[in-house]
Chain A
């Protein structure tokens, strides 16, 4: 695991063992609720969470001396305590993403630090130890094995991350430092959020209640109501048309149609007649297969394939109304 220097712990506070860190520095949680000098750290922690809910990134100044170190790291650790006490997942998700983006900036800078090789080495080591990415530098290019790239890039829906839109040669993908770090944003986010989720929730600390109440009020802002139209997406319409014409719908097309309609709450008996016109229709087989998809005759309940997968299978017939959804079951769903 990475050995952290003073500088790194400020940049990547989520790598610190929270309880141990506070103890080592000679503090207890209770002190933060009562000691007026430490209150400003709780204020900072609150601010750090609040900023994350606004989609912004908490900015900090890298300390030149050790004296300002605890503020930076403590505000992160206390923010985690506040989040645990508040218990609102929406805040945790927003906070971990914002913190991931914050650390991205430092990682990117360190990766291209030509003057200080130790910073570069530390950034490379973090990428390797935490996210299993082995990076080779060649001039301004950051080179990672294609198989490695794919494991991370599949988290992105933007086309620029598709392998076909990357420079690749002899099994290596060529990236800029910005892209290299951006590649692991989701993993940093997950790393931070899983650390928060797995941390113990302390008893309410005197002096923290007011912050917790404010955060709960803040979280209510993000409650959303969703309305859904009953219209089928174009891929499903297309599949139904094919069946109505008595033409052959591919196995993956049938899988998509079955899983979609099941996800929309239809029963196997309602769905089966749709396949009546298929050239190879057999009622018994159709019912068996639909029951299998529904998880009635197996332990797995199958879900509708993603839009990306349907594109690969030539089953996607996107229209503007699809509006960048990532799964057909989201079609027609709107937040109000």
Chain B
């Protein structure tokens, strides 16, 4: 990112923060949280303490961060080094990201950028200009990806409420500002759980580590196997829906499963993991010392905001989370893929100098496929 790009992004981000202070607040118990921020083209500053919205807004205006973060954990001493902080508890947070979902159409709206010569091209194994295989993948907005992530969010909420007994009022869903959602669970019994216990929650949600016995399969006496019924709670019920399809097929499918044996059923359960498990990022939930993008702030990977989502079905991130203004800006764009923001289509561009609304210019510069002139 060159100096001109940074200047444009800093101006745009500063204006956004100045105009939208109402969107961005310190969380509950701010004096127990660790804050961190990054500036464009710069490293991370962590272990910062902010006590009020006023202090937060002042930091945004003075530092103009590219990204600002806050811990889900509460500490006695949030600004001391990690092992002296004295961890008290942390909200449960789940991250669902389109990049982890294996959406089939994803490659059609992705391109590569060579880390050696900065060439941008359609998806391929090596750089067409310098032959290097040190490539980064850039993916632009796509409704299929967002629809898939929404499906996962709904599956997760259903498990959190029905299986874990979390009240729906305690669950908040945020668009991450790029390609996914962050799901926060506030004020629950699970806040005091450490990393190992959270890994168990993760495995539950992702349907990992399952054994056939859980579903009534008897390893040494398969004749006495009694597989789950429709309408049962938890994974037994969900598995029934997935393997039988309909009530009329239950007897036949059960018979096939039993006659195929224990090992085959174990394999089948493992295969079902991606279909019926929720595709959360396990590392995010088990890390109890992480700092998360602050709700209401902008994401420097896209220029879109991390905002709360009240109605997930109606939510359109490429409209609802796009807050940068529409003043025209001139950029040189090298973007082989078409994308859409605020219901307007852009691209593809082939090393073209174009004048486009600032929100689209910021989006492309953040993605690394355009430069400000």
The verdict on A159 contacting B163 (CB below 8 Å), with A164-B203, A165-B214 known, is: no
* Chain A, range 218-269, C-beta contacts under 8 Å to B: 246, 250-252
Interface 1/0s, chain B 198-214, versus A by CB < 8 A?
A: 01111110011111011
Chain A residues contacting B208 (CB-CB under 8 Å) are 164, 311-312
> Does A171 sit within 8 A of B, measured CB to CB?
yes
Whole-angstrom distance between the alpha carbons of A154 and B196 in the complex? 7
Contact of A165 among B134, B135, B211 (CB under 8 A): B211
Q: Which residue of B lies closest to A151 (CB)?
A: B197
A250 to B214, CA, bound (A): 32
- B146 proximal to A (CB < 8 A): no
Q: How many residues on A have C-beta within 8 angstroms of the other chain's C-beta atoms? A: 36
Please provide the chain A residues from 167 to 185 with a CB less than 8 Å away from any CB of chain B in the complex.
167-172
B209 close to A252 (CB less than 8 A):
no
Distance, CA A312 to CA B284, complexed state (A) = 11
In the complex where A147-B193, A150-B193 touch, is A309 in contact with B214 (Cβ < 8 A)? Answer: no
How many chain B residues sit at the interface, stated as a range, is: 35 or more
Q: Which of A147, A299, A311, A312 contacts B190 (CB 8 A)?
A: A147
Task: List A contacts of B199 (CB < 8 A).
Answer: 308-309, 312
Cβ-defined contact, B197 with A162, below 8 A: no
A246 CA / B125 CA spacing, docked (Å): 12
Q: What's the minimum C-beta distance from A148 to chain B, rounded to whole angstroms?
A: 8
Residue contact B203 to A150, C-beta cutoff 8 Å? no
Q: Which residues in B have their C-beta under 8 angstroms from that of A153?
A: 200
Contact residue among A170, A250, A251, A279 (Cβ-Cβ distance under 8 Å from B165): A170
- Say yes or no: A252 contacts B283, CB within 8 Å: yes
Chain A proximity of B180: nearest CB distance (Å) = 17
Check A89 for interface membership: any CB of B closer than 8 A. no
Chain B residues in 8 Å Cβ range of A279: 115, 134-136
Interface string of B299-323 (1 = CB under 8 A from A): 0000000000000000000000000
Within the complex, what minimum Cβ distance (angstroms) separates A155 from chain B? Answer: 9
A303-326: CB near B (< 8 Å → 1, else 0) gives 000001101111000000000000
Across the interface, which residues of B come within 8 angstroms of A154, CB to CB? 196-197, 200
Interface of B is mostly: helix
* Complex contact A150–B83 (CB within 8 A): no
- Assess A311 versus B83: contact at CB under 8 Å? Given A150-B197, A246-B134: no
Q: A146–B165 contact, CB under 8 A?
A: yes
Is B181's beta carbon under 8 Å from chain A? Answer: no
A160 is an interface residue with CB less than 8 A from chain B: yes
Q: Is the CB of A171 within 8 A of B115?
A: no
Residues from chain B with a CB closer than 8 A to the CB of A4 are none
Q: Is B162 an interface residue (CB 8 A)?
A: yes
Measured between C-beta atoms, what is the minimum distance from B200 to chain A in Å? 5
Report how far A171 CA is from B161 CA in the complex, Å: 8
Q: Does A207 make an interface contact (CB < 8 A)?
A: no
Q: Is A145 an interface residue (CB 8 A)?
A: yes
Give which listed residue, B83, B188, B202, B283, contacts A299 with CB less than 8 A. B83
> For residue B192, which residues in chain A have a CB less than 8 angstroms away from its CB?
147
Residue of A nearest to B136 (CB): A279
Q: Check A2 for interface membership: any CB of B closer than 8 A.
A: no
Contact A150 B189 (CB under 8 A): no
B234 within 8 A of partner (CB): yes
Taking a contact as CB atoms under 8 Å apart, the answer to whether B164 and A150 are in contact is: no
Contact with A along B118-139 (1 / 0, CB 8 A): 0000000000000001111000
User: Among the listed A168, A172, A313, which residue makes an inter-chain contact with B283, where contact means beta carbons less than 8 Å apart?
Assistant: A313
Q: Indicate the member of B134, B213, B233 with the most A CB atoms within 10 Å.
A: B134
B132 vs chain A, min Cβ distance (A):
10
Instruction: Enumerate chain B interface residues (CB-CB to A < 8 A).
Output: 83, 115, 133-136, 162-166, 188-190, 192-193, 196-197, 199-204, 207-211, 213-214, 233-236, 282-283, 286
Q: Which residues of A contact B (CB under 8 A)?
A: 145-148, 150-151, 153-154, 159-160, 162-172, 246, 250-252, 279-280, 298-300, 308-309, 311-314
**Please, could you name 13 A-B residue pairs with CB atoms under 8 Å apart, sorted by A?**
A147-B193, A151-B197, A154-B197, A162-B204, A163-B200, A164-B235, A168-B204, A169-B165, A170-B163, A171-B164, A171-B166, A250-B283, A279-B135
Which A-B residue pairs are the 5 nearest by beta carbons? A171-B165, A150-B197, A147-B189, A170-B165, A165-B214
